[in-house]
Structure 1
Amino acid sequence: MSTRRLTAARPIRMGLAGLGTMGRHHARVIQEVDGLDLVAVADPYGDTYAAAEGVSIVPDTAGLVAAGVEAAMVAVPTHLHEEVALELAEAGVHVMVEKPVAATAAAGRRIAEAFTASDLLGCVGYVERCNPALLEMRRRIADGALGEVYQIVTSRQGPFPARIADVGVVKDLATHDIDLTSWIAQSPYAVISGQVTHRSGREHEDMMVATGRLANGIIVGHTVNWLSPMKARSTVATGERGALVADMLTGDLTFHANGDVSSDWDQVSTFRGVSEGNSTRYALARREPLRVEQEHFRDALWGRSSAASLVVSMAEGVRTLEVVEALLHGAENDRAVHLDATR
């Protein structure tokens, strides 16, 4: 992380690169967060969503630098992340890059190295880490609510998003699940394998199933696709005391406890496993994850001690891409890929 920090005595002069589907939401949130002042937005097509009224609209990254931005959100298409991020690093601008950090792990490493060398804050926008259900799941797992964790399974499915043209479902969506699984378990991936398919006639894959194992022994599974008529976003962590189920669409977290009720039904009682116990849905404070993410970025820029662990470092973003690329390589060659889990 950077040692250069901005003063909390005045708002941070923020820039935004990209006013597409995600960029327009970032424009709204940045303007709403105390301590952030959106002074310029860069998009060669202008403000087509009318999301940045009253803000200077410039055609490119050079325009952001000329506007005197101190920090910027990069929400351009994935294949442009490296070019834009490196320009901002060279200009001395702190940056949060929308996930994934780059189109390839190699490009991500170049970005990470540039921000480290310039002593700038560089981080990645994995907004699911700000989802209230997942934040609470991680806290409860760390506090021992599940005892030993055995398995984490995610599902991320829905219709094809017209906004995506340069990557497949693995780099666009599965990258969320790989990041959040490692973060919740507080352990890197040790092995990953998967299968992908192309059903929509596009160059990139649109469906994926994957299994793997983390360095701490937790087994994982991910189902991701763009061809489902129903939208699903869920994470299930199962352990020795029960299961935590997070619905990322609603922000709900439910605990299903292992039961201690005996049964006199022979077919059931002879099964040597767990029984169904009580279920508890926790009452959680719900805040928009994108707003929480920008507040974490602001606090990290101000050097607040707790914020350093809340933003996703570029090194973490690169590790997630390494797992993604291993998954795609393994799917192409029909084999599991072992990863270096020591870093």
Structure 2
Amino acid sequence: VSICTPSISHAELTIKCLEAGVNVFVEKPLASTLDECMKIIDTARSCNKVVMTGYIERFNPSVRKAKELLKNGEIGDIIMSHSRRIGWWPERIGDVGVVKDTAIHDIDLARHIFGDEPSQVYARGGRQKHTIAEDHVQAILSFKDDDKTAFIEANWLTPRKKREMYITGSNGVITIQFLTQQLVIEKADKVLEPLLKYEEPLKNELAYFAECLLNKHKPMPDEVDGAKAIAIAEAIIKSIQTNRSVEIEIEEIR
């Protein structure tokens, strides 16, 4: 079953499917709160069923290529990332704010790219047009290695949609354009732009989920990844509300 309903209904529908003996693909966010995510984790385990969280950017060819380049040390050690996910408010989204609906992609990508968990966040944001939640945010995630940071910018205020990420390493920079699936490598002595075949990330994602079920492999990102992203999102929202740095506690989510 694929669940792509409003975020506030994800937990109830996912749990019903799991209890009915069905494996579930859930569009991001896994649920609207961390408590709901933990209930999904517990139910999936008690029912011995599979849950995959739909973080579509992991299946974008440009992200896959960037991950390969980083693994091979193309730009040295990763120092920081800067992601921008901005555009006009999609008024159909009224149940959660820009952090849990939109920035959640880049929260997941920060974990995916760095291969590490953030330990602290400081964020600013607010509400201009959304009726109940924040519609703009700027967040700085600090990782356990103090030399690594991820800056996330997201809003529903910008007329033109932009989806991009800059990954800075000790020996260069990788730029990802998510919409066009372009990737550029900038180094001191050269600029490279690998030719990537355009692919539909959603098709890749769903095909991967089906393949995992057929071959009895655990799909990733799973329900734990979904819960960790929500925990980080809630820390970001708390930082906005308190105007303070917030410790991110996700070690117990497993």
Q: Does the TM-score normalized on the shorter chain lie above 0.5? A: yes
- Provide the rounded CA distance (Å) in 2 between the counterparts of 1:216 and 1:120: 35
Q: Does 1:234 align with 2:164?
A: yes
- Provide the rounded CA distance (Å) in 1 between the counterparts of 2:18 and 2:3: 12
What SS does the aligned partner of 1:221 have?
A: strand
What SS does the aligned partner of 2:121 have?
A: strand
After superposition, the CA RMSD in angstroms is 1.3
Q: Which amino acid aligns with 1:168?
A: G
Larger radius of gyration: 1
**Aligned-residue offset at 1:233:** 0.4
Change (3 A) 1:250 1:304: farther
Preserved CA contact (<8 Å) 1:296 1:311: no
The structure whose RCO (Cα within 8 Å, separation 6+) is larger is: 2
Q: 1:108 aligns with which of 37, 44, 60?
A: 37
Superposed counterparts of 1:190-339, under 5 Å: 190-200=119-129, 202-217=131-146, 218-257=148-187, 259=188, 277-303=189-215, 308=218, 311-339=220-248
**Segment drifting more, 279-288 vs 209-218:** 209-218
Q: Which amino acid aligns with 2:236?
A: L
**Aligned-residue offset at 1:164:** 0.6
- Provide the rounded CA distance (Å) in 1 between the counterparts of 2:207 and 2:223: 18
Partner of 1:13: none
Preserved CA contact (<8 Å) 1:74 1:96: yes
Partner of 1:154: 83
Q: Which amino acid aligns with 2:196?
A: L
- Provide the rounded CA distance (Å) in 1 between the counterparts of 2:171 and 2:221: 30
What SS does the aligned partner of 2:5 have?
A: coil
**Aligned-residue offset at 1:303:** 2.2
What SS does the aligned partner of 1:205 have?
A: coil
- Provide the rounded CA distance (Å) in 2 between the counterparts of 1:101 and 1:84: 11
TM-superposition CA deviations, 1:122-152 (whole Å, max 9, x none): 1111101101111111111111111111101
Percentage identity across paired residues of the two chains: 27
What SS does the aligned partner of 2:40 have?
A: helix
What SS does the aligned partner of 1:328 have?
A: helix
What SS does the aligned partner of 1:312 have?
A: coil
What SS does the aligned partner of 1:174 have?
A: helix
- Provide the rounded CA distance (Å) in 1 between the counterparts of 2:138 and 2:83: 10
What SS does the aligned partner of 1:162 have?
A: coil
Q: Which amino acid aligns with 1:225?
A: N
- Provide the rounded CA distance (Å) in 1 between the counterparts of 2:55 and 2:104: 9
Gaps of 5+ in 1: 1-71, 260-276
Partner of 1:174: 103
Partner of 1:38: none
Preserved CA contact (<8 Å) 2:126 2:240: no
Q: TM-score, normalised by structure 1?
A: 0.71
Q: Which amino acid aligns with 2:70?
A: I
- Provide the rounded CA distance (Å) in 2 between the counterparts of 1:201 and 1:95: 30
Q: Which amino acid aligns with 1:126?
A: Y
Q: Which amino acid aligns with 2:121?
A: I
Displacement over 6 Å in runs of 4+: none
- Provide the rounded CA distance (Å) in 2 between the counterparts of 1:118 and 1:242: 47
- Provide the rounded CA distance (Å) in 2 between the counterparts of 1:199 and 1:137: 34
Q: TM-score, normalised by structure 2?
A: 0.95
Q: Which amino acid aligns with 1:112?
A: I
What SS does the aligned partner of 1:191 have?
A: strand
**Aligned-residue offset at 1:228:** 0.1
- Provide the rounded CA distance (Å) in 2 between the counterparts of 1:327 and 1:79: 19
Partner of 1:3: none
Q: How many residues align?
A: 251
What SS does the aligned partner of 2:158 have?
A: coil
- Provide the rounded CA distance (Å) in 2 between the counterparts of 1:163 and 1:291: 23
Preserved CA contact (<8 Å) 1:215 1:341: no
